[in-house]
Structure formats: structure tokens, C-alpha cells
């Protein structure tokens, strides 16, 4: 059987992203969104989620390139004076792994983000992390530990198989991508040991920001057996923040893809059943 979760990341990053998620849920195939609880437009996202009871919302944990929940005075080893995490993934990865003082603050911030989500009153559908930082074993460990205290039941494993991408269009596999696929086994082991549900496959990595209508229609027709998650970064327009963080992304094209007849037809062609983490 083929089942598929259609989701969007960065809920709460901007009102343009929030509006696109609402449109894609109302008029398209989007069933799921991942909330940045400290995002600049988080309150707007929460208000939209409350009036969209069919939208399944989880936590999009931010421990890189984004805002923290705790004040900088409580986590000075993690964020700058404005409360922003840095963007250097390698440096963060080293410090999160080797420095106990950094890990202590990291655990506190991750707990604070789950607590902030709980205060919204929304049901916690799932969790994942911005830029897939939960693939880091320390981040994954703390995400799972805090998540379980807050009722977490499902975690995204960003394992993207190359075969459907090759069948669907232009894609050249690499040693780096192959290494990443093997590394996802660490997170899957952590999640399953904790009794959490995981997806089998995940799509949206190689074509991140460019999940266009033609591409997703072709991908939908070649989905593998099992549970797949296809995630997007839609927005109705590009503001200054989106331009700075994701200068090459086609946010409006991804919104169009979520509402395109070809995407729906591709899923029907391969008999993929839309579902959710809680189904």
C-alpha cells in the first residue's frame, strides 16, 4: 500500500507562508503543517490553525538559523543578542555534540519550544526540525525526550530515495546524498526505540524550494510502497525575510503545485492514499 502525508514547513515564518498553507489546505492537498513557535508570524499561524480544525499541526523545531523561545540571557551559548541561532551547521553540530554546557542550554531551549507549542492549545501532531537538524544525534535525543513529555507520537525521518526522483525527472545522485540516507538510520533507531511513528520515505530535500507542479505530478506517479511524506515551502509572495533566507526558492510555484490537478492525478494514478500522522 502507498500512503502519503502532504505537508508544509515554516508555518509561522511569515504571513505570506501562513496564507499559502491555509490556501493549500483549503483548496489543495495539504493536510499537515509544521509550526515555528517563535517565528515572526507564529501568532498569525496559530490563529489560522485554530479556525482550520482539519489541519494537522506539529512542531518545526528551530536550533539553527532562526529565533529561539528562551531569552538570550538564558541561552547565551546558543544565540546572539537578538535571540537568533547562527547558520553555520558544521560549527553548531560540533558544539552540540562535544560541549556539555552547550548541550545543557540546548536541552532547555528544546523543552521550551515544546512547552510553547503546548500553550497554543493545538494538538501536537508530529515533530521535525528546521534544516533537518534532528538528524544530529544530540538534537534528535532531546527532541524525542521533550516530545514524549508533551505527547509526541510521530517524527519525520528525512530519507529520500533516489529512484523515484530519477524516474520523475532530472536528478543526479551523489556520495553526499547516499551518506545522508545512511545517516538517517540513527534517527530512525532513536525514534522507534522511543515508540514513535516514522515515515518510510521523505520527498522535498533534493528539490527543496523547487517542488513545482510538473515535478510533483511526476513524483506522485512514482511513489514507492509504504508511508511517504512530501513537504513543501509555499508562500503567496516573497517578503524581505524570505528573500534573505531562501533567495532561490519558488515559494509561489510550490503553492501552485499543492493545488494543481496534475499532483492529484499523479497520486490517483499510483493509488497513493493521502493520510496523516495520526491516521
User: What are the sequence ranges of the domains in the chain?
Assistant: 2-274
Instruction: Please report the pLDDT score of residue 172 as a whole number.
Output: 85
- Which CATH number does the domain 2-274 belong to among 1.10.630.10, 3.40.47.10, 3.40.1400.10, 3.20.20.370? 3.20.20.370
Distance of CA 230 to the CA centre of its chain: 10
Residue 59 to residue 37: CA distance in whole angstroms: 7
Select from 184, 185, 112 the least CA-distant residue to 149: 112
Select from 63, 14, 56, 60 the least CA-distant residue to 35: 60
pTM of the shown model = 0.96
Taking only the tens of pLDDT, the chain with its 279 residues reads 999 999 999 999 999 999 999 999 999 999 999 999 999 999 999 999 999 999 999 999 999 999 999 999 999 999 999 999 999 999 999 999 999 999 999 999 999 999 999 999 999 999 999 999 999 999 999 999 999 999 999 999 999 999 999 998 878 889 999 999 999 999 999 999 999 999 999 999 999 999 999 999 999 999 999 999 999 999 999 999 999 999 999 999 999 999 999 999 999 999 999 999 988
Instruction: Please report the pLDDT score of residue 170 as a whole number.
Output: 76
Q: What is the 3-state secondary structure (H, E, C) of 82-136?
A: CCECCCCHHHHHHHHHHCHHHHHHHHHHHHHHHHHHHHCCCCCCCEEEHHHHHHC
CB burial of 31-67 (b: ≥16 within 10 Å; e: otherwise) equals bbbbbbbbbebbebbbebbeeeeebbbbbbbbbbbbb
Instruction: Please report the pLDDT score of residue 207 as a whole number.
Output: 95
* Sign of the torsion formed by the C-alpha atoms of 249, 250, 256 and 261: negative
Amino acid at each position: 500500500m502507498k500512503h502519503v502525508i502532504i505537508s508544509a514547513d515554516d508555518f509561522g515564518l511569515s504571513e505570506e507562508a501562513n496564507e499559502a498553507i491555509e490556501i493549500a489546505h483549503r483548496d489543495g492537498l495539504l493536510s499537515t503543517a509544521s509550526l515555528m513557535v517563535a517565528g515572526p508570524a507564529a501568532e498569525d499561524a496559530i490563529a489560522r490553525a485554530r479556525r482550520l480544525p482539519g489541519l494537522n499541526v506539529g512542531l518545526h523545531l528551530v536550533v539553527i538559523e532562526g529565533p529561539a523561545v528562551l531569552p538570550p540571557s538564558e541561552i547565551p551559548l546558543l544565540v546572539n543578542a537578538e535571540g537568533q541561532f547562527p547558520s553555520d551547521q558544521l560549527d553548531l553540530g560540533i558544539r552540540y555534540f562535544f560541549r556539555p554546557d552547550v548541550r545543557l542550554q540546548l536541552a532547555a531551549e528544546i523543552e521550551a519550544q515544546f512547552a510553547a507549542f503546548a500553550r497554543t492549545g493545538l494538538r501536537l501532531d508530529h515533530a521535525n526540525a528546521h534544516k533537518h537538524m534532528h538528524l544530529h544525534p544530540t538534537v534528535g535525543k532531546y527532541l524525542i525526550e521533550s516530545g514524549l513529555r508533551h505527547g509526541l507520537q510521530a517524527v519525520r525521518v528525512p530519507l529520500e530515495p533516489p529512484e523515484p526522483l530519477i524516474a520523475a525527472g532530472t536528478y543526479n545522485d551523489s556520495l553526499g546524498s547516499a551518506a545522508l540516507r545512511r545517516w538517517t538510520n540513527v534517527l530512525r533507531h532513536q525514534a522507534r526505540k522511543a515508540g514513535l511513528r516514522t515515515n518510510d520515505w521523505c520527498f522535498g530535500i533534493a528539490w527543496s524550494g523547487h517542488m513545482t507542479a510538473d515535478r510533483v505530478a511526476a513524483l506522485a506517479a512514482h511513489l514507492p510502497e509504504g508511508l511517504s511524506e512530501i513537504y513543501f515551502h509555499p508562500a503567496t509572495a516573497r517578503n524581505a525575510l524570505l528573500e534573505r533566507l531562501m533567495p532561490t526558492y519558488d515559494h509561489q510555484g510550490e503553492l501552485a503545485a499543492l493545488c494543481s490537478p496534475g499532483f492529484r492525478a499523479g497520486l490517483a494514478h499510483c493509488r497513493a492514499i493521502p493520510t496523516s500522522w495520526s491516521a
